[in-house]
Amino acid sequence: MEPSTGKPSFLRNIVVRLFLFCVFILGVRFAYVVTIRGESCDLGDFCFFSLPDNLNTIVSAAAGHLGTKSSSSSAVIAVGKSAPAKPQKVPDLWATKGFQKTAQFYSSVFQDLISDGFLTPNSKVLCVDTPTGADVFALKEIGVSDSIGIFKKASKPLVISGQAIKQPFGDNKFDFVFSGAVMVEKSPKPTNFAAEICRTLKPEGFFVVHTGSKDTYSYNSFLDLFNCCKLVKFRDIDGFDSKLPFIREIVMQKKFSENVDEISGYGIEKTGGNSVNECSVPGYKQELIRKAEPLIVEEPKKPWITLKKNMQNIKYLPSMADISFKQRYVYVDVGSRSYGSSIVSWFKKQYPKQNKTFEIYAIEADKHFHEEYKYKKGVKLLPYAAWVRNETLFFEINQDPIDKDVEKGRGMGRIQPVQSLNGVSDGSNVDEIPGFDFAEWLKSTVSVRDFVVMKMDVEGTEFNLIPRLIETGAICLIDEFFLECHYNRWQKCCPGERTSKYQKTYDQCLELFTSLRESGVLVHQWW
C-alpha cells in the first residue's frame, strides 16, 4: 500500500495561494501609487519613490516660518528612517516628477545667484505668485531657510495666501524677492506689481524676475516699471520644459536714492530729453520701425484702392513685440466721426490688442455724431476740435452731393476751418466749435509708461498738429500712429482731375511720413 500525499499537497497549495495573494497586494499598491497618487506617497506608507534626504529640515523650516511648533514627536522624517507615532503628512505634490524637476531647475538658478553674490543663506526671501512653491522648496533645500511664497491660493507650508499686487507684508521686509514661471506677464496690474515689489524690498535688496519676453521693446517697458531699482544684469537661459523653452532672467537692485528717475548708467535708455518739451527716441523703438512695412513712395493713381490694400501689409506693433509691461493701454481716435466708423469697424475688430483692455478717447468736432456716444461704454468723447491752441474755431461743413447718407457725408472728413464768417460760401453750414491744444492734452493724459495707439484723420490739419506734437515732445508718447494724410489727390468721380479741397501734394505727405519715421515714430499710411 502506497503512502498518502494529500496533506503535503494541501499545505503546498495554501502556501502558493498565500504567496500569490501577497504579490497581488503589492501589485495593487504599486498601481495605486503610480497611477492614482501621481508617483507619490505619505511617509510611513509603503513607498516606491523617495523624497529628498533633507525633507525633515525643509518642512520644519517652512513650519517655523509660519509660526507653527515643531517637536521630535511631530517632525517629518525622511524615507527609510523609523517613523514617529503620529507622522506629519507631506503634500503629495512635492513627490511628483513635475514638482521635483521644477525645484531642481530653481535650485540651479539660486545657486548661480549665490555665486554672484545676489543671494546668501541668511537672506530673507519672498517668492511672489508661486502656485506650487517649487522655488521656495528649492531655496530651503540649498539652505536659504528664511523663505516664503505667496499666491492667491495657499499651498502650506511653503506658500501662504497673498497677491503680488497686494502683499500681506510691511515695508522693507525682504533682502531678496523672486518672481519665476513668467508670472509677471500674467499680472493684471503690472504697475501695482512693481510698486509692491519696491515697497517690500529692502534698500539695496535684489529683485530677480524670469520672463518669457525676449524682444527689446518689452524688455525696456519692463525696466521702465521699476524706477525704484537699477539694472544689475540679465541673461538668457533655457527653460525647464517644452512649454517654457526660453527664459530671460533680469536682476535689479533697489536704490537708496529717492530720485526714482536716476536710472541712467545701468543699460536703460531714457525716453526723456533735456527738457520737458524735448524727447529722444530710444534704439529699441527705431528697431521696430526698421521692421515696419515700407512706405508707398510713388503716388498712387487710385489712392482709394491702393491705400486700402496697404492696410493688409501693415505690421502692427503688438505683432512684433510683447506689450505686457505697460501701465495703461490707450487708444486715441482723432477725427473719429461715428462710433462705428473706425473704433468698431477697425480698432475693436482688427487691431491685435493681446487681450489688453484699452481706454478709448474719441475726438470729434461735428456735433452730428455726439449723441450716439452717450450710450457707448468704455469710450470717452471729446466734442472739440484737435488744434494747436485753445481757441474758438469756425468750421464750414460741406455736404458732398454724392453722399446720400448724411452720416457718410459729414464728420471731420467734411469740415473745413475758415478765418471768418465772410469766407463761407453760400449755402454752407457753419459750426462754431471750441478747439483745444491737443499736444498739451495728450501730455496731461498719458505717460511714457502707457501704451498709446493713435489714429488721425483731420482733413489736412495734420500739417498743423504734427509739428506741434514734435515741438512739445508729445509725439514721443505715441507708440503706434495711424495717419491719413490729405493732399490734392486724383478724384474718384473725375478721371484726370485733382481735388481742389487740399493744397498739399503727395510728396509733402511722403515727406511728413518719412520725417516721422526718421524721428523714431512707428507711423503707418492710413486710409
User: Do 114 and 141 meet the contact criterion of CB atoms below 8 Å apart?
Assistant: no
**Phi, then psi, of 209 in degrees rounded to 5:** -130, 145
The whole-number pLDDT of residue 338 equals 92
Categorize the per-residue pLDDT at 240 as very low, low, confident or very high, splitting at 50, 70 and 90: confident
Sign of CA dihedral 183, 185, 188, 189: positive
Across 70-74, 102-106, 309-313, least confident range: 70-74
The whole-number pLDDT of residue 27 equals 73
Categorize the per-residue pLDDT at 23 as very low, low, confident or very high, splitting at 50, 70 and 90: confident
Q: How many Cα neighbours within 13 Å face the side chain of 157?
A: 24
Q: Which long-range contacts (CB under 8 A, 24 or more apart) does 48-55 make?
A: 49/95, 50/78, 50/79, 50/80, 51/78, 51/79, 51/90, 51/94, 51/95, 52/78, 52/141, 53/78, 54/78, 54/141, 55/90, 55/94
Q: Using one digit for the tens of pLDDT, what is the confidence trace for 468-503? A: 999 999 999 999 999 999 888 777 777 777 777 778
> Residue 200: enclosing H or E segment and its boundaries?
helix 190-200
Categorize the per-residue pLDDT at 156 as very low, low, confident or very high, splitting at 50, 70 and 90: confident
The whole-number pLDDT of residue 56 equals 56
How far is residue 527's CA from residue 522's CA, in Å, rounded to a whole number?
Answer: 16
Instruction: Tell me the mean pLDDT in the region 35-52.
Output: 44
- Higher model confidence: residue 204 or residue 74? 204
The whole-number pLDDT of residue 45 equals 42
